[in-house]
Structure 1
Amino acid sequence: MKEIAIYIHIPFCDHKCIYCDFYSITKTENVDLFIEVLKIEILGNSNYLGNSIITSIFFGGGTPSLLSVSKISEILEMLCNNFNVSRNAEITLETNPGTVNFQKLKDFKKAGINRLSIGVQSFNDNELKFLTRIHDKQLAIETIKNASDAGFENINLDLIFNLPRQTREIWELNIKTAIELPITHISTYSLILEKGTILNKLVMDGRVKLNEEDFDASLYELTIDFLSKNNFDQYEVSNFCKSGFECLHNLAYWQHKNYIGFGPSAHSFYENKRWWNFSGVKQYINRIKASGNAICSEEILSSRQLLDEYVMLALRSKGLELLNLENKFGKQWLNNNRSYINELIKNKFIIEKENFINFTPKGYLLCDEILLKFK
C-alpha cells in the first residue's frame, strides 16, 4: 500500500499579521458550510486515498485552533471512517497562543490530535507587537506549558529571526527561552518580505528598514550552533528537533512522497502530477458544490523536473541517499556532478558518508547557491 500525507487548509484567522502571505480570512460566518464542503472534497479523492495508508494529517492555516474541537473531530472521524489512517499517524494542529486554553488543548488531544505546532514567532514583547501577534511572551509560555500538561508529548514552536531592530542578544534569548520549555521541535525562519503583505508596503514606504544579508546569515549560524549544542539536531534548513521527533508530515514533502491537500489554496503531489486549488473561500465552496473539486491548475512533471526536485528536497533535509537516487533516476546525475561534489566536500560544504550526501552547517548557510550549480 502506498503511503500518503494529508494537508488540510483551514483559512480562518483572528486577524491578518503584517508579514503573512498565506491565504487566510478574518470572517468566520461560512465555517459550517466550509466544513461540509471540505468533507465533500476529501471523499471525492477516494481514487488517491482509497488505495493508500495515511501516515500524517496536518491542519494548517490560517489558524486551525480557532475552530471548535467538534469541527476538527468531525473531519478526523470522517477520514478514519472512510480511509486507512495508520495507527501511528502523526496528526498535527497549527495553534496560536490566544486561541486555546488548557481545556481546549485537552479536548484536542482527546479528539486525536497528537502533535501541536505553536506559532510563537518571538518571546520578545516588542517584536510581537511589531508582528501584530495577538499574544505576548507570557501567554506564549503559558500556552506551551498548558499543551504539555494537557498530554502533548510532541510540540513544535515557530520562531522568526532577522526582524527589524533585532539584535543577536534578543534572538539568542528567544531560542534560549524556547529550549527551556517542554518542546521537542523548533522551526526557525528568517523574515521574508512577501509581495502583497502590509510589511512589504511599510518597507516600500521607508517606514521599516530590513537588516543586511550578512546579519541574517550570522543569526542563522548562531541558531545552528546554539541548537545543536542543546540537543536539537538540524534535519532540514529551517527545522531542528530532539532525537526521534522529526515532523513526519514535512518529511513526506522533503522525501518527495505523495501528499494530497484539501481546502482553499492547498497543493497536492502524486507520482508525477501536481495540482492546486483556488484560493478564495467563496470560489472554493462554489467549485466543490458544482463539480466536487476546486482545482485551479495542474502540471505533469518531466523526468528532469522530478530529478531536480528530488535532489533539491533531499539535500535541504536529511540528505541525498545515492542508492535511492540511482534506483529512481539512474547514474547520470551523480556522474555529471561528481567533480562538483568533490569540490564541495573539499571546501567542507557537504560530507559524503555511508552512501549519503549531506550539507554541513557551513553548507546550509549557502544551500540555495550551491543547489543552483548542480547540472
Structure 2
Amino acid sequence: TLLPDVAGRYVVSLRVTDEHGLVSDYRPGTDQLDEVAVFAKSINHLPVTRLLKEGGWRNSFLATNYAQFDQQQPLVITGLTRDSETYGPLRMDVVKLIADTYDPDGDTLSHLWNLISEPQGNRMELPTGAACNNGQSYDRLAETLEEYIDRVNGYREWTCDSFSLAPTEPGTYVFQYQTYDGSDFAGPFQTTVHAVRRENYPSLLLEASSDEYGKVGQSDGSDLVMQAVFPWMDTHAPDLKAESNYQDGYMVTRYFKLTAFGGDYRLMGVQTNSIKPEYEPRFWDETNQVEITDGYTIPQGGSVVVAFQVPISSDDPEEEVGCADINGSFHIDGHPDWTVTLSPFWTGSGSVCSD
C-alpha cells in the first residue's frame, strides 16, 4: 500500500532477483524495468466542459461557427447521402456532438453520452464524418456488414468525446453528457437538437454546395442542398485559373441559396469591400438578375440563389487578388447575429501581403 503525504508523481518499479542473479521484468530489448506512475494530489479539480454542435459534411467549407440547432434554426432532415466504397450510402445531413472538455489537473478523461429523449420511430443512419462505435470494430468473421451498421446505429450511449449522428425523424433530441477524471464525475450536462423536414423550416434557410471539396456551387442552385446556419463565415477561394468559375466578367467565389419560410426577410448592412477599387465585389441575385443592396427583401415562400462576384479574370496575379482584402457581409433584419460574411482567401497571399 502506498500512502503519499506530498502531492506529486510517484514512480513504482518492482525487481525480483533469483538465486542466479537474473532480474525479472526488464522491458524487452532494454536494461530498464517496467514502471508504474502514480499521481497524488491533495485536491481534485473537476473537468471543465463546453458542449458544442456542428452540422453538415465537410462543415469547414460551409461555416466556421458552431450550430445551435435550436427552434429558430433547426437541423434540416433531407436524407441527402453520398456513397462510400466500404459502408454504402452515408447521410450528409448530420449533427456532430462535441464535448470540448479538459481537466485542470491533466487527468485522463473518460466520456459518456446518452440520448435520453428522441421522437417516436426515429432510427439513426450511418453518417458522414465520424460515427462512434464505442470501441467495437467491424469483425467480418463474427457478423455481416449490415449487422455491424445496425449495431452502431442502434447505440443510445456513446463513449467518444465527439461523433456524428444522422436522425431520421423530425422532433426534439435531448442528449446528456458526463465525464470522469478517475476520481469524480463532472455533469451530467444536457444539450438539445431540434430537427425538421425542409418544408417545415420555420425561418430563413441558408444552403450551400454539397460538393465534398467545397466548390462554389451551381448558378441554378441545383447543388445548393447542404444546410448552413447563421452566423455564417466562408473563406473559400476557388482556383483563379478555373474558367468555370467566371461569369460575365466576374469570378464567383461562392453561390448560396436563401429560402424564406415563415415570413419576409430583409438583408441589411450590405457591405462589399476591397482595398483595390478595381476588385470591389458584389452580391448578385442569380434568380432575378439584380444586384443585392441594403434593404433587399426575400418574400415569404421566395427562394433566391446569391452569387458573391469579384471583377477579376484568370489573368490577374493571385498575389494581387489575395492582397486586395476582398470581403462582403450583411445581416438579417431583426436578427443582428444572423450574419453572412464572405472573405475569400487565396493560398499564399498572407506571406506576400506583409509589407
Q: TM-score, normalised by structure 2?
A: 0.26
Q: Point out the structure with max Rg over C-alpha.
A: 2
> Which is strand-richer, 1 or 2?
2
Q: TM-score, normalised by structure 1?
A: 0.25
> Which is helix-richer, 1 or 2?
1
